[in-house]
Amino acid sequence: MANLESLTTSIAQALKLIPDLHVYQFPQTPTTPAAQIVPQKVDFSGAMGRGHEEWEVLVRILVSAANPEAAEMELYKYFGKAKDIKDAIENHTPLMDGSVADAVFVRMAEDYGRLYDIGGIGYRGIEFLVEAKVAT
């Protein structure tokens, strides 16, 4: 049966296919460019009492904030071509073949260019919201 661990592991596997992206499933000081996978919400109130669950996971992309212009240009890369986060997740076989969830999709990207402080180090980033629907 699918679970949150298998979902986050599969997301990590998909993101590791993006060239030069360091992927972290657990909180730690990142090496940039980095993707942090952060479970957000599990909604147990699906159809018919608990017929399905809806899971939300953030994929937070972080880049160095040392040069603001370079940070903006680096963040742009995660919206297209070889580094496209949406494409990497939505076209990764374990996420799309029904073995991890019934449906997985990247619903939105938000907080583009947001400044994050992790361990006293500044990073620029963007968050992608991944939603999964799972029959229980």
What's 31's DSSP letter?
Answer: P
* Tokens 């596997």, residue located: 13
Q: Judge if pTM exceeds 0.85.
A: yes
Q: What is the DSSP string of 2-26?
A: --HHHHHHHHHHHHTTSTT-EEESS
pLDDT digits (tens, 9 = 90+) for 80-96: 776 899 999 999 988 88
Per DSSP, the three-state class of 113 is strand
Domain ranges of the chain: 4-135
pLDDT digits (tens, 9 = 90+) for 28-70: 889 999 999 999 988 877 655 566 788 899 999 999 999 999 9
CATH 3.30.70.1700 holds for 4-135 = yes
Residue 28 CA, chain-centre distance (Å), reads 16
